[in-house]
Homo-oligomer: A and B are copies of this chain.
Amino acid sequence: MSYGRTAIFAAVSCNRFIRQFKNALPYVFGTATTIAYCYTHKPFNKHHATTLDSFKTDVSETYPDKPLESFMAEPITNKDLLQKNSYQARMEVFILKLQKQLCQSLEDYEIKQNNQVRFKVDRWTREEGGGGITCVMQDGDVFEKAGVNISVVHGKLPVQAIEQMRARGHQFVARNTSLDFFAAGISSVVHPRNPHVPTIHFNYRYFELVDVDGKIHWWYGGGTDMTPYYLNETDCKHFHLSLKETCDKYDNSYYSKFKKWCDDYFNINYRSNERRGIGGIFFDDLNQPDQESCFSFVKACANTVIPSYIPIVKKNYQQTYTTQEREWQLLRRGRYAEFNLVLDRGTKFGLQTPGARIESILMSLPPVAKWKYGWEFKDDSPEMKLMKVLKEPKEWV
């Protein structure tokens, strides 16, 4: 199978950057090659109880002493460059480590069930520069499907893309010239088996563009959002509170602004404005007040994924559930597939990009989904309780 393009565009489902590059990226990225090996990472043979139970993570961006123990596969960039203190290097090391940590956290649950299912690791590179690592675990007892992607890509941004950036309002972008760019990001979707455990999605990314005068322009973007099948208010509050606490450390206006942005984005408009889930945060073009703060904020958000979500998994994954509850989960997953295929700009863009690594783009799709004509639930049912919140997003904290 021939793969190509960059998984950051598979990964970065909500990237405004994508919009401006629509129809341009084929020219940006050319043809790429998958190194389609199954990287055999060392199975995690102990339960990382300390990390998980304390609900704390500290994924730093320092290049590790033993990289192959800290990453799911060889880094994309060479070691010398990664050991430099650039924001590019720090972002790559950070997402490599976070990818490992998250895969570890998820595999850990399968290990506890004595299940042999593990992450499959596909590391791929592309001719024009950079590559990615796609990790997918399927058919777990706890996680029916979990994907954790990173990509680190660079190259020339063509004139067409530049013109689209100008249209978007980037005044520093000159006419009729291609520019160097760099993009690094992590993205993930986790579909648990138990309907009482929500699905989670997040992506965080860093972007650089060099203008004609050689000046580097940069910004960060990303978000985390949760899709429960049954509404557990305590869990929803824990999730949103985790995000808010992280946001508040940086700017008191962030949480409410980014929460609304998230609700607006993950909206299935043709289903009478039914949201995909209970939201979370979503932001783009972040380059204020300074780069260190922005990077620190993005790291903090990404580091909030595990403590905001894994406790909810831990609390609920052993709950019993009925056939009806499973059925409802599958119907809601139908909506998840609809959102990703019909509305998600990143997915749509990726599918329109000739030679894109489709398997990485569509790893976000649920393992199983159902559609039923005209389903009905009682007004006071747990299913309808969820629907009400999806139709009218709630303030959780």
Chain A residues proximal to chain B, CB less than 8 Å:
120, 122, 136, 138, 145, 147, 270-271, 330, 334, 337-338, 341-342, 348, 351-352, 356, 358-359, 362-363, 365-374
Contacts and interface: CB of A to CB of B under 8 A. Distances in A.
Contacts of A352: 270
Nearest to A371: B365
Contact of A147 (B122, B338, B368, B373): B373
A362 B371 contact: yes
Contacts of A363: 373
Given A342-B351, A363-B373, 8 more contacts: A147-B373, A270-B352, A337-B371, A338-B341, A366-B371, A368-B370, A369-B369, A369-B370
A21 to B, nearest CB: 17
Contact of A367 (B136, B271, B342, B371): B371
Nearest to A362: B371
23 contacts: A120-B373, A120-B374, A122-B374, A145-B371, A270-B351, A270-B352, A270-B356, A270-B358, A271-B358, A337-B341, A337-B371, A338-B341, A342-B342, A342-B351, A359-B373, A359-B374, A363-B373, A366-B371, A367-B370, A368-B368, A368-B370, A369-B370, A369-B371
A73 to B, nearest CB: 15
Contacts of A334: 365
Given A356-B270, A374-B359, A368 B369 contact: yes
A273 to B, nearest CB: 11
A356 B269 CA distance: 11
Contacts of A330: 368
Nearest to A341: B341
A348 B334 CA distance: 16
A369 B147 CA distance: 19
Nearest to A342: B341
Which residue of A122, A270, A330, A337 has the most chain B CB atoms within 10 A of its CB atom? A270
A271 B145 CA distance: 21
Contacts of A359: 373-374
A57 B334 CA distance: 36
Contacts of A371: 145, 337, 362, 365-367, 369
Contacts of A271: 358
A107 to B, nearest CB: 15
Contacts of A368: 330, 368-370
Nearest to A372: B138
A358 B271 CA distance: 7
A216 B334 CA distance: 43
A366 B334 CA distance: 10
B373 A138 contact: yes
A324 to B, nearest CB: 14
A329 to B, nearest CB: 13
A334 B341 CA distance: 11
A358 B371 CA distance: 12
